[in-house]
Amino acid sequence: MITDKDVEYVAWLARLELTPEEKKRFTRQLGQVLEHAEKIKSLDTAEVEPTSHVVPLSNVMREDVVEPGLTQEEALSNAPRREGGYFAVPRIV
């Protein structure tokens, strides 16, 4: 059911480069995952609320107060490349 084309597409979405061996292996493994999901899907869940979070919490909010963050120097300290206070990233257009 899942083909190596699907795996290629998902890898492209995640910007992953796969070797032909990896592609084969992941196609098999993802196929097994999906098979398992099919099994779960056979259950009747009409009366069950979809779960999005596992902790029984809601409405966690903070007050709108400004607190000091990082300095420009700190913010940029991990940047592989910077220019005049900016992060320099590979050109996108």
Residues at the site binding other proteins, with contacts judged by CB under 8 A: 9, 12-13, 15, 52-53, 55, 57-67, 69-72, 75-76, 81, 83-93
Measured distance CA(61)–CA(40) in Å, rounded: 35
40-60 burial string, b = 16+ CB within 10 Å, else e? eeeeeeeeeeeeeeeeeeeee
Closest CB to other proteins among residues 21, 56: 56
CB of 50 to other proteins, least distance (A): 9
Helix or strand run (H / E) with residue 18? none
CB of 19 to other proteins, least distance (A): 21
Measured distance CA(1)–CA(76) in Å, rounded: 46
Closest CB to other proteins among residues 47, 67: 67
CB of 5 to other proteins, least distance (A): 12
